[in-house]
Structure formats: structure tokens, C-alpha cells
Amino acid sequence: MKAYKRSTRVAELIQEKMVEILRDLKDLNKGLFTVTRVKLTDDLQTCRIFYSVIGTPEDIQYSEKVLKDNIKQIRFQLAQSVNLRRTPTIEFVYDESGEKVVRVFELFDRIEQEKKENESQSKK
């Protein structure tokens, strides 16, 4: 069994707690909001929380504003729920990987559709 670094274990714990904290944040109800991953520095001082929003570009901008406006409250709640000597500073980063996956599947669908159209034209 591989031993994990402490920062990795703490990042997993922070992700669990962050999901709970953000679920209770009433203003984050536009679009489908998800915490995709948490990256914590080895010294546990800085925490990047990657999130994704499935919705319109306005939903994404709204979620970003809500997170920035409530960052002190979110950090305070994190400090209450995670027992660390010092609560890391938090930075929210929009994760575009979900959008990229959707675009790839759209391209696959378009290729498949063009392939069927070409086959039907060649049969004529």
C-alpha cells in the first residue's frame, strides 16, 4: 500500500467538507455546481478549489461572484470543520475540463453523423 502525502489526505478532507459547506450556501443555486478537485500545497498554506458549473455563461459568472463575495465566510466554516493548526488561504478556480469533455463528445457525434450521411450518399 502506497503512503499518501499529508497534503493529499488533507486535500481530500477539505474537498469533502467544501462540498458540504458550498451545498449550504444559498446563493449557489444557479446551474449545477460541483467541486471537481482540491489542490493543496505541501506546506498546507494555500488551497486551490477547482469547481465546475453546468449551465449558461451567466450561471458561471454568477457562481464566481458568489464564491468571491463569500470567501471569508467559507474559510471560516472550513476552519470550524477541519482541525488544522492554520486554515489555508482559499482560491477558487473554474475547471473547464467538463466543458472540454462535452466538446469532444459533440465532435464524436458530428463525425458519426457525417459518416452516416456520406454512407447514405454513396449508396444513391
Residue-wise pLDDT for 57-96, tens only, equals: 888 898 899 999 999 999 999 999 998 899 999 999 998 8
pLDDT exceeds cutoff 90 at 120: no
List the grid coordinates of 9: 489526505
Residue-wise pLDDT for 20-30, tens only, equals: 998 888 777 66
Q: Note the pLDDT of residue 2.
A: 53
The DSSP element (H or E) to which 76 belongs, if any, is helix 71-81
Q: What percentage of the chain has pLDDT greater than the value 90?
A: 44
- The matching CATH number, chosen from 1.10.10.10, 3.40.50.10210, 3.30.365.10, 3.30.300.20, for 6-96 is 3.30.300.20
What confidence category does residue 3 fall into, taking pLDDT thresholds of 50, 70 and 90?
A: low
Give dist(CA 70, CA 15) in Å, integer.
17
